[in-house]
Amino acid sequence: MNDIFRHQVLYLLILVFLTAATKVRSDSDIDYKHGISLMEELKYTQEFTHFEYLNPDAPKGGLLNLMASGSIKNFTWNLDAVVESVEGLWRTYDRLIVRSGDELASYYGLLAEGIALSQNKKSLFLKLNADARWHDGEPITAVDVKYTFDRAALTLDGRVFLQWLESVEIINEHEVVLHHKEVYTNASLLVISGQIIMPEHYWRNKDPTQTHATPSVGSGPYRVAAYNRAFVLYERIDDYWGQDLPVVRGQYNFDQIRHEVYRDITVAREAFLKGLLDVQLEGDIRYWTKSLKTPLVQNGSIQASTFRTANRIGAQFVIAFNADSEMLSDVRVREALTLAMDFSWQERALYHNMQSRVISYFQGSVFASSGLPTGAELKLLEPHRDQLPDRLFSQEFELPKGTGYGKDRRALIRARELLTEAGWHINRGRLVNTEGKPLEFEIMNYNSAFQRVLLPYTETLKRLGIKGNIRLMDSAQFIRRRRARDFEALIWPHDLLAPPTTHLRSYFHSWAANRGMMTYNITNIRHPAIDSLVESAERATSLTELTAATRAIDRVLQWNYYNILLNGVDKQRFLHWDKFGRPKHEDLAVYGWPFVEGWWFDNDKASRLPTIDDSENATSAPQDQAG
pLDDT number for residue 614: 56
Strand partners, 66: 259
- Residue 84 in contact with residue 70, Cβ under 8 Å? yes
Neighbour count for residue 499 (Cβ, 10 Å) = 28
Type of residue found at 261: V
Strand locations in 521-571 (E): 563-565
337, 316, 315: which is closest to 488 by C-alpha? 337
142, 139, 140: which is closest to 126 by C-alpha? 142
Query: What is the DSSP secondary structure assignment for residue 2, as one 8-state letter?
Result: -
* Cα angle for residues 171, 174, 177 (degrees, 5° grid): 45
- Residue 341 in contact with residue 414, Cβ under 8 Å? no
pLDDT number for residue 356: 81
Instruction: State how beta strands 312-313 and 496-497 pair.
Output: antiparallel
* CB-based burial label for 460 (10 Å; 0-12, 13-18, 19+): buried
Task: Say whether pTM exceeds 0.75.
Answer: yes
pLDDT number for residue 14: 46
Could you give the 3-state DSSP secondary structure of residue 490?
strand
The DSSP H or E segment spanning 203 is helix 200-203
> For residue 607, what are the contacts with CB-CB under 8 A and spacing of at least 6?
none
pLDDT number for residue 308: 83
Could you say which architecture CATH assigns to the domain 3-203? 3-Layer(aba) Sandwich (3.40)
- Residue 592 in contact with residue 311, Cβ under 8 Å? yes
pLDDT number for residue 105: 93
Q: Which residues of the chain have pLDDT under 50?
A: 1-24, 26-27, 620-627
In angstroms, the Cα distances linking 359 to 137, 148, 370, 505 are: 52, 40, 10, 21
Strand partners, 117: 124
Three-state DSSP string of 593-614: CCCCCCCEECHHHHHCCCCHHH
Distance CA 524, CA 515 (A): 9
Superfamily of domain 312-565, CATH level 4 = Dipeptide-binding Protein; Domain 3 (3.10.105.10)
- Residue 470 in contact with residue 445, Cβ under 8 Å? yes
> Per-domain residue ranges for the chain?
3-203, 312-565
Q: How many residues does the chain have?
A: 627
pLDDT number for residue 472: 95
